[in-house]
A and B are shown apart, each in its own frame.
Chain A
């Protein structure tokens, strides 16, 4: 009984990691860069919604309806993602991947500190966007946020996979991820394809941010840092670059985390999660669902 409860709470935690990891893995899969600023885009998404929906921000305004606020948040993050890519990453297209990684860290610091200046350091109370009640099955409660998170996660996973497989832009993305030079020769506009990748990835970050802050109802300039790292781990777990892998990796991470909290130690939980990650990678060096790359000589 209690085992099932822990399992269930692990799945709800994991579904949030999965949602964040989807955006992470998508950007990595196409542009081959670890976007360390992804977590902070999540934070901006949550803050945008908080601003749009909060009555206190514009005096006399009751706050915009939830649906409109969500749209605004997605829009802002999409634009932000494209802007970041244009300003910070595009000039480094031909530099080493490490240089881009460091720039991403710079962007992450930038977003955190700009949010700190605008919104201040206090954690703001965030009101959940989910307003219907949860389910109760056999004495176990499933919160409405969990149901929404899992549904949205699965929808995004299926949607992204179909988009990449069947749409023209999606195929272009695949081509760019395989070989930028060859893709260009085939008439694919590499720059706009990568821009599109960042636009989609950042829109997903907005959705993830809104749901993350609905489940853990507060937002501060540093809200994105920890989920960013956790989602990175989840994405690697599942095989970074693989879209279904992010989903599986995220949920597994949540389950492992909660089971080790329950049965081993709440203090050692991060060590246990990382130890499992190392074991998985040693047995299967490209993650659970990652593609095996053959080595060229």
Chain B
């Protein structure tokens, strides 16, 4: 390998190359008509989960704070953008323009919430931080479930804890936008893999750049030793908030993808509650804390796994649970690690000598 490339640049290039290969393979399969309906329907959700995992990795892996409220930011992004799209679907006729604006709206709202929540929360540490972020996520979900928004000739109406029929709307021109727990139906759909993939690339690029910048190093120094970082003059609150809100912004973007990919948007434990936050955390931890590449790979695997297991019918989720436990143990246990090292080592010996030779020359250096 060339000496001019630093280790981090090399690793980043591999990440981009990996994304390019994935994109090329999917496009190739889709052009040749080899993509099943199931897989093509999964493409956009997988992109969304990659964005969620990569952005949570910024908080958990780079900042070193355990957050269990990532789905809350996603919820903010999903609802704010869906409301925006519902309100403007007659005004802005260009679908792409409206979607791009929706992405900005969703991301911005989520980032604002990230800052608002971050200010009190980031004083806490470890498991306590985890529970408070979980609590914020749940609060957001409950509030969203009690909001009512409707439109009539008099304009847009907003109310909490009521019902659409109590809002005194003009019956003739009434148009329900957000109906409390029943959510938003009929958000304009943008189910484009290409757009979702572009968003993945943007997310990965922004976060990789952030990690490798001066800011990123400051953030990592807080993770490694907060007191030492403070003593060399790093503004801990500022950098923590920055990482937290960037992470929230991209969770919001993922929320926008979610709400514009489903016709019936509803906030439940499964999609915007702790179940989802935990799922995203699983993606991050399985892929390797702090590893962007790992987050991408684990999102693809873990999200498609239950779908591929559909043929097993009722044993599906049981198999999924077992595989999850096994993957965690295999991935983290020194014994199994050594075992795999051995297997991969012997595989490598069987492969053409070039690579092995390169490896050995590296070792001798």
How far does the alpha carbon of A103 sit from the alpha carbon of B281 in the complex, in Å? 12
Q: A268 contacts B146, CB within 8 Å? A: yes
Residues 73-114 of B, flagged 1 when their CB comes within 8 A of A and 0 if not, give 000000000000000000000000000000000000000000
Contact residue among A99, A281, A286 (Cβ-Cβ distance under 8 Å from B328)? A99
User: Is A281's CB under 8 angstroms from B278's CB?
Assistant: no
Tell me whether A102 and B328 are in contact in the complex, defined as CB-CB below 8 angstroms, given that A95-B333, A271-B138, A282-B120 are known contacts. Answer: yes
With A and B bound together, what is the CA distance between A160 and B336 in angstroms?
37
Of A134-142, A179-187, A228-236, A250-258, the stretch lying at the interface with chain B is A228-236
A19 part of interface (Cβ distance < 8 Å): no
Binary per-residue interface labels of chain B (248-282) against chain A in the complex, 1 for a CB within 8 Å, 0 otherwise: 00000000000000000000000000100010011
Name which of B14-22, B36-44, B125-133 contacts chain A: B125-133
Q: Knowing A94-B334, A102-B286, A240-B127 are in contact, say whether A271-B318 is a contact too (CB < 8 A).
A: no
Q: Is the CB of B329 within 8 A of A268?
A: no
Given contacts A94-B334, A282-B120, contact A106 B136 (CB under 8 A): no
Given contacts A109-B317, A271-B138, A275-B139, contact A102 B281 (CB under 8 A): yes
Q: Known contacts A94-B334, A95-B332, A285-B123; is A277 also within 8 Å of B324 by CB?
A: no
- Say yes or no: B274 contacts A103, CB within 8 Å: no
Asked whether B320 is an interface residue with its Cβ less than 8 Å from the other chain, the reply is yes
Do A285 and B128 touch (CB < 8 A)? yes
Partner of A117, one of B278, B318, B334: B318
| In the assembled complex, B322 has its CB within 8 A of some CB on chain A | yes
Q: How far is the CB of A187 from chain B (nearest CB, A)?
A: 24
B332 and A109 contacting across the interface, CB-CB below 8 Å = no
A91 to B143, alpha carbons, bound, how many Å? 41
| Minimum C-beta distance from B244 to chain A (A) | 16
- B242 interface contact, C-beta 8 A: no
A92 touches B124 (CB 8 A): no
Q: Let me know if A267 is at the binding interface, CB within 8 A.
A: yes
Once the chains are docked, how many angstroms separate the CA of A285 from the CA of B125? Answer: 9
On whether the beta carbons of A270 and B120 are closer than 8 Å, the reply is no
Which of A94, A107, A117, A229 contacts B274 (CB under 8 A)?
A229
Interface status of B325 (Cβ within 8 A of chain A): yes
CB-based contact B127/A295 at 8 Å: no
What is the distance, in angstroms, from B30's C-beta to the closest C-beta of chain A? Answer: 32
Q: Is the CB of A282 within 8 A of B123?
A: yes
Does A34 count as interface, using CB distance less than 8 angstroms? yes
B314's nearest neighbour on chain A, judged by CB, is A117
Q: Which residue of chain A is the closest to B278 with respect to CB atoms?
A: A105
With an 8 A cutoff between CB atoms, is A57 at the interface?
A: no
Pair B227/A297 contact, Cβ less than 8 Å: yes
Binary A-proximity of B38-63 (CB < 8 A = 1, otherwise 0): 00000000000000000000001000
Residue on B nearest A233 in the bound complex, by CB:
B131
What 0/1 readout, one digit per residue, does chain B (280-301) give for beta carbons within 8 Å of chain A? Answer: 0110011001000000000000
Q: Is B24 an interface residue, CB under 8 A from the partner?
A: no
Inter-subunit contact B161/A268 (CB<8 Å): yes
**Inter-subunit contact A274/B138 (CB<8 Å):** yes
Question: Which residues of B lie under 8 Å from residue A265 when comparing CB positions?
Answer: 146, 161
Q: Within 8 Å of chain A (Cβ to Cβ): is B236?
A: no
A98 to B282, CA, bound (A): 9
Residues of B with C-beta under 8 A to A79:
none
Is B305 close to A, CB under 8 A?
A: no
A92/B135 contact (C-beta < 8 A), A102-B285, A281-B124 known: no
Residue from B128, B324, B332 in contact with A236 in the complex, judged by beta carbons closer than 8 Å:
B128
B residues near A277, Cβ cutoff 8 Å: 131-132, 135
| Closest B residue to A103 using CB positions | B328
Residues in A with CB closer than 8 Å to B333 are 91-92, 95
Q: Does B179 contact A (CB under 8 A)?
A: no
0 or 1 for each of A254-297: is its CB under 8 Å from B? (1 = yes): 00000000000101101100110110011001110000000101
From B146, B285, B321, A267 is in contact (CB under 8 Å) with B146
The answer, yes or no, to whether A88 is at the interface (CB within 8 Å) is yes
Residues 213-227 of A at the B interface (beta carbon under 8 Å): none
Contacts of B318 in A (CB 8 A): 110, 113-114, 116-117
**A105-130: which residues lie under 8 A (CB-CB) from chain B?**
105-107, 109-110, 112-114, 116-117
How many Å lie between the Cα of A277 and that of B320 in the bound state? 33
- The yes or no answer to A96 lying at the interface (CB within 8 A) is yes
Residues A102 and B329 in contact in the complex (CB < 8 Å), given A109-B317, A267-B146 = no
Q: In the complex, what's the smallest C-beta–C-beta distance from B94 to chain A, in angstroms?
A: 38
Distance between B75 CB and nearest chain A CB, rounded to angstroms: 13
Q: Could you tell me if B120 and A278 are in contact, using CB atoms closer than 8 angstroms?
A: yes
A111 to chain B, nearest CB (A): 8
Contact with A285, one of B124, B282, B335 (Cβ below 8 angstroms): B124
Q: How far is the CB of A21 from chain B (nearest CB, A)?
A: 13
Contacts of B196 in A (CB 8 A): none
Contacting residue for B142 out of A110, A271, A278, CB 8 A: A271
A113: B residues at CB distance < 8 A: 317-318, 321
CB pair A92–B329 under 8 Å, yes or no, is: yes
Closest to B60 in A: A98
B325 to chain A, nearest CB (A): 4
Other than the given A233-B131, A268-B142, A295-B227, 4 more pairs (CB < 8 A) read: A267-B145, A271-B143, A278-B132, A281-B132
6 chain-A/chain-B pairs, Cβ below 8 angstroms: A92-B329, A101-B285, A102-B281, A102-B286, A112-B317, A285-B125
Q: Which B positions have Cβ atoms within 8 angstroms of A?
A: 60, 66, 120-121, 123-125, 127-128, 130-132, 135-136, 138-139, 142-143, 145-146, 161, 227-228, 274, 278, 281-282, 285-286, 289, 314-315, 317-318, 320-322, 324-325, 328-329, 331-336
